[in-house]
Chains A and B, each alone.
Chain A
Amino acid sequence: QSVLTQPPSVSAAPGQKVTISCSGSTSNIGKNYVSWYQLLPGTAPKLLISDNDKRPSGIPDRFSASKSGTSAALGITGLQTGDEADYYCGTWDTSLNGFVFGPGTTVTVL
């Protein structure tokens, strides 16, 4: 059972937008930076967003993220079939003194 909460799945048609929420508490999201990861089937995880809202080199600007209080969100615009994957938020938890991942959200392109 993760200390972070994400919806199990979200879906939308090609070209549309999806938003994935990540909810936590004052000891994790409320205090520390959030990162987001994409896990495509059969591949290694990829860092999509670092430090709450920064895109690493090579990540398209269709991916964006934000953080407010104890919640964070990842947005994907111009949805493509290649975006079908599992997405995880993660952050340091000061009370646990360790890193925590959310349970993951499966994105489906209809």
Chain B
Amino acid sequence: EVQLLESGGALVQPGGSLRLSCTASGFTFNIYAMAWVRQAPGKGLEWVSSISGGGFNTFYADSLKGRFTISRDDSQSTLYLQMRSLGVEDTALYYCAKATAYYYDNSWAWNFDLWGRGTLVTVSS
């Protein structure tokens, strides 16, 4: 079955760290770009970070100010998000998404065509 399964969400104190994982199955993980997208309570979707197939290129939302690091282990079909200096504003449901991404005719296309069910991160004292 084609699926993504996130884990690692937890209650953490402000200033703390957390590592999220996303295990993929049912498709050739290493050839696809992957991404993390979050949704804070009562808010919309917010793109967090993306990583290219093979992990050669990484992209981050400016709002993260260098606190998050995306990585992947293709041998384990697993995507990671290392989060540091967490603040209450990072409280959200974090989704892992598979991306079909390509650059054509001077334009980028990023289509998040498979999503996990999310893992909840709560930052609170």
Contacts and interface: CB of A to CB of B under 8 A. Distances in A.
Interface stretch (B7-15, B21-29, B78-86, B107-115): B107-115
Interface in A44-80: 44-47, 50-51, 56
Contact of B107 (A32, A50, A86, A96): A32
A46 B111 contact: no
A35 B45 CA distance: 13
Interface in B57-78: 59-62
Nearest to A93: B108
A39 B62 CA distance: 24
A105 to B, nearest CB: 10
Contacts of A56: 113
Interface in A79-109: 86, 88, 90-92, 94, 96-104
Interface residues of A, number: 30
Contacts of B114: 47
Contacts of A99: 35, 47, 50, 59, 110
B45 A104 contact: yes
Interface of B: 35, 37, 44-47, 50, 59-62, 95, 97, 100, 106-118
Given A31-B106, A45-B95, 17 more contacts: A31-B108, A32-B107, A32-B110, A35-B112, A44-B116, A44-B117, A44-B118, A45-B112, A47-B114, A50-B100, A91-B110, A98-B62, A99-B59, A101-B44, A101-B46, A102-B44, A103-B44
28 contacts: A31-B107, A32-B110, A33-B108, A37-B112, A45-B37, A45-B95, A45-B115, A46-B115, A47-B114, A50-B100, A50-B109, A50-B111, A50-B113, A51-B109, A86-B44, A88-B44, A92-B110, A94-B108, A97-B59, A98-B47, A98-B50, A98-B59, A99-B35, A99-B47, A99-B59, A101-B47, A103-B44, A104-B44
